[in-house]
Amino acid sequence: MLDNFRPALIITRRELRDQQRDWRIILPVLMLTLLFPFLANFTTQRILGFVEKYGANIIAERFIPFLFMIVGFFPITISLVIALESFAGETERRSIEPLLSSPLTDTQLYLGKLLASVLFPLAAAYLGMSVYLIGIYRSTSWRAEPMFLVMIGLLTAVQALVMVSGAVVISTQTTSVRAANLLASFIIIPMALLIQAESVMMLWADYQILWWVILALVILAVLLVRMGITHFNRENLLGREIDSLNLRWMWHVFRDEFKGEARTVGEWLRWEIPHSVKRMSIPIVWMIILLTAGTYLGAVLVKSIGITPSFFSLESLNSINTKVLDQFRQFGYFETSGVFTIWWHNLRAIAIAILLGSFTLGVAGAIILMLPMIIIGFFTGLVAQTGFHPLTILTAVVMPHGLLEIPALILAGASILQVGASLVTPHRKQTIGEGLVSSLAECAKITLALVVPLCLGAAILEVFFSPLVLVRLLGLE
């Protein structure tokens, strides 16, 4: 394996020398990398001086780690142009032909370019973080714990790898730097949203969750690297002359995959749908594991937050017994209108999960579908402190509508994971566009034939029967 990796380092050294020669890359990155930490340090000192007047020093203490993370993230976004230009730029300048005619394999060539694209942004990020950290040490009394520094260093590294890996994939699939820069928004915007979520965790000083974020980013980075290697082909890179959006071709691919070999609706339901479900057997198993883990995580959160039995007692549960059915009626339960409200709510959540899963190799979509089970697990752990058995609470919360809704979640989540799996390991020799359209057609097939009817049946049960089961099992009547 090391012998196969050494040729890739030849490409890495070549790319790094070219980057060092180009002052248009080095000078802006160095100036912004060194300037932004001083600006962040100046902002920190002004905030410290302001909050000290009102005795809110804890706000500044939570703000410093956030700026420390942003200082590392900022150079990566600036240096992303290196990754976007890695293949598209050389293709545009016609300087890639000698490189592609080398005896290196596609994997070695791709890994060499990837490594060269990630080293410079990561070095700039660590340089900026070091400058900011030295400034904070000299101007304030704040001191970072060694484990916190390790965590932020790893978080910065995996964020850089995810962004650069996605940018290199885009660079291999476009013919111009302009097109690659436009498509870079699909990388920068999700990462910016992730940074916002991480900032909330830092303001709450909940650093344990950030370790799970690092793990998720490592998985996503591995999938992106695998995706890039799978779809990289030097012949296609040379043969493609212009990027075009062929809607007719996309419709034909979608229609053929959606219809399959069925000629009637009956054949489609009898043959195509079972075959599609069978092909998703592995994602279905993974989705069952994820939903189970989400339920357990919700129950564990009750203890981690520090909720004690005295906080939620049996007396407080019984105090709402005369209002439960009235609250159900206010939310549309026991009425036909409530069925369509819940049905639309579930379908909207699944649609959002499919949309986000399409851009994150299925990861974000699966997490969204895990959220209801996390809430159920949290409620189960909360009510279990009043003396009820956890299985009784689970039955009260998810039955009978869960008999249909949980399979719908499993199938929807499995189809989303299948979208990511088809991009990373396509069954046929497909381009990324063809693989994405085909997998979305498969997802639409499962959603229309199974998920939508199951959600409708679950909504009917949830409106007319589930509230009665909840009230009866928890003794609220």
Report pLDDT digits (tens) over 192-250. 878 888 877 777 766 777 888 888 889 888 888 888 887 777 766 665 555 566 778 78
154 falls in which pLDDT band (50, 70, 90)?
A: very high
356-387 pLDDT, tens digit per residue, is 887 777 878 888 899 889 888 888 888 777 77
Q: What integer pLDDT is reported at residue 250 of this predicted model?
A: 83
Q: What percent of the chain is predicted at pLDDT more than 90?
A: 10
Q: What integer pLDDT is reported at residue 105 of this predicted model?
A: 82
* Lowest-pLDDT choice from 75-89, 146-160, 161-175: 75-89
Q: What integer pLDDT is reported at residue 347 of this predicted model?
A: 92
456 falls in which pLDDT band (50, 70, 90)?
A: very high
CB distance 16 to 119 below 8 Å: yes
Rounded to whole angstroms, how far apart are CA atoms 160 and 122? 6
Q: What integer pLDDT is reported at residue 195 of this predicted model?
A: 84
* Lowest-pLDDT choice from 131-140, 192-201, 328-337: 328-337
305 falls in which pLDDT band (50, 70, 90)?
A: low
Q: What integer pLDDT is reported at residue 333 of this predicted model?
A: 54
H-helix segments, 185-280:
185-203, 208-231, 234-239, 247-259, 265-267, 273-279
* Lowest-pLDDT choice from 125-134, 327-336, 384-393: 327-336
404 falls in which pLDDT band (50, 70, 90)?
A: very high
Determine the average pLDDT of the residues in 464-469.
Answer: 80
Nearest 5°: CA angle at 233, between 231 and 237? 115
CB count within 10 Å of CB 259 equals 14
Determine the average pLDDT of the residues in 99-108.
Answer: 78
Which residues are CB-neighbours of 67 under 8 A, at least 6 positions away?
40, 43, 44, 132
296 pLDDT more than 50: yes
- Mean pLDDT, the chain, rounded, equals 79
Q: What is the chain's percent helix, strand, coil content, to nearest 5?
A: 80, 0, 20
CB distance 58 to 49 below 8 Å: no
290 pLDDT more than 80: yes
Q: What integer pLDDT is reported at residue 474 of this predicted model?
A: 66
Q: What integer pLDDT is reported at residue 462 of this predicted model?
A: 85
261: which DSSP letter? T
CB distance 432 to 302 below 8 Å: no
Determine the average pLDDT of the residues in 340-367.
Answer: 86
1: which DSSP letter? -
- Going from N- to C-terminal start, the domains of the chain cover 2-239, 248-473
pTM equals 0.73
Determine the average pLDDT of the residues in 261-280.
Answer: 88
37-95 pLDDT, tens digit per residue, is 777 777 777 766 666 666 656 666 677 787 888 888 888 887 788 888 888 777 777 77
7 pLDDT more than 70: yes
323 falls in which pLDDT band (50, 70, 90)?
A: very low
Rounded to whole angstroms, how far apart are CA atoms 273 and 270? 7
Higher pLDDT, 408 or 246: 408
Helices (H) and strands (E) in the chain, counts: 23, 0
In the structure encoding, which two tokens stand for residue 236, read together? 């296609």
Angle between helices 336-359 and 432-446 (to 10 degrees): 160
138 falls in which pLDDT band (50, 70, 90)?
A: confident
Nearest CA to 172 out of 96, 121, 102, 75 is that of: 96
Rounded to whole angstroms, how far apart are CA atoms 301 and 374? 9
Rounded to whole angstroms, how far apart are CA atoms 119 and 107? 18
Determine the average pLDDT of the residues in 2-15.
Answer: 76
4 pLDDT more than 60: yes
Q: What integer pLDDT is reported at residue 452 of this predicted model?
A: 94
